[in-house]
């Protein structure tokens, strides 16, 4: 792996632990196993490195989620099944990449303009990034009476966002609910099932 690549991976690790300002360039270099000058040689500044990191993370998440979306569109499924898969895909992305999740949450809260710029950039560069696809799916499902009359945009936000919740509120939940994290995997699985259950029941159409 190139020094450039190693640096970005290390940066993801450190930024996710310490946040943008909390992270130290020296520490990132050490984690990457390269000289600090190398970091600057390839990424010119902390600001820049941070943007590279965001770009990489969003790219990977988009790549994965849109290819899954593509896949289920080509398969034989009823609408609610498709929606279920989508919810599980997002849950999976967040839970399997907790440090991506942390960085994204931080960026959204602190550098929303950076995030906007990067997403715009990625959308312009990569044809496969097409949020309309998810929107269309929801709208089709609605007009086919598989789903109730719901606002597709709002539903899309809810689906994407709801899967992120557990990670955000983990410490609160641990104390509030007296959760015992020894069985975190079990809890996460239940969490996912519960979300699927909640959302599907919330949007599905029930003929009288």
Partner DNA sequence: ATTACGTTTGACCAAATCGTCTAACTATAA
Partner DNA sequence: TTATAGTTAGACGATTTGGTCAAACGTAAT
Residues listed for the chain:
208
Q: How far is the CB of 206 from a copy of itself (least distance, A)?
A: 7
> Can you tell me the distance from the alpha carbon of 100 to that of 4, in angstroms, rounded to the nearest whole number?
19
What long-range pairs does 41-45 form, CB within 8 A, spacing at least 24? Answer: 42/3, 42/4, 42/7, 43/4, 43/7
Pick from 23, 107, 141, 159: which binds DNA (CB under 7 A)?
Answer: 23
> Is residue 110 close enough to count as binding DNA by CB under 7 A?
no
How many chain residues interact with DNA (CB under 7 A)? 17
Task: Report the SS3 class of residue 205.
Answer: coil
Instruction: Decide which of a copy of itself, DNA, none touches 186; Cβ closer than 5 to 8 Å per partner kind.
Output: none
Pick from 35, 110, 126, 144: which binds a copy of itself (CB under 8 A)?
Answer: 110
Tokens of 150: 């719901």
> Is residue 171 close enough to count as binding a copy of itself by CB under 8 A?
yes
Q: How far is the CB of 3 from DNA (least distance, A)?
A: 3
Pick from 77, 78, 108, 181: which binds a copy of itself (CB under 8 A)?
Answer: 108
> Can you tell me the distance from the alpha carbon of 160 to that of 147, in angstroms, rounded to the nearest whole number?
18
């Amino acid at each position: 792996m190139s020094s450039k690549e190693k640096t970005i991976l290390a940066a993801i690790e450190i930024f996710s632990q310490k946040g943008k300002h909390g992270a130290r360039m020296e520490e990132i270099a050490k984690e990457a196993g390269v000289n600090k000058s190398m970091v600057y040689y390839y990424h010119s500044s902390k600001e820049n490195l941070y943007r590279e990191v965001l770009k990489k993370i969003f790219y990977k998440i988009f790549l994965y989620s849109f290819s899954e979306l593509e896949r289920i569109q080509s398969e034989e499924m009823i609408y609610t099944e498709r929606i279920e898969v989508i919810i599980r895909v997002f849950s999976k992305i967040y839970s399997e990449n907790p440090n991506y999740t942390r960085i994204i949450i931080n960026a959204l809260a602190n550098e929303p303009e950076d995030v906007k710029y990067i997403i715009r950039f990625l959308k312009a560069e990569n044809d496969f990034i097409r949020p309309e696809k998810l929107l269309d799916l929801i709208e089709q499902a609605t007009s086919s009476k598989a789903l109730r009359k719901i606002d597709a945009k709002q539903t899309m936000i809810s689906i994407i966002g709801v899967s992120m919740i557990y990670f955000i509120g983990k410490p609160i939940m641990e104390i509030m609910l007296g959760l015992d994290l020894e069985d975190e995997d079990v809890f996460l699985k239940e969490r996912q099932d519960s979300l699927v259950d909640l959302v599907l029941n919330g949007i599905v159409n029930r003929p009288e």
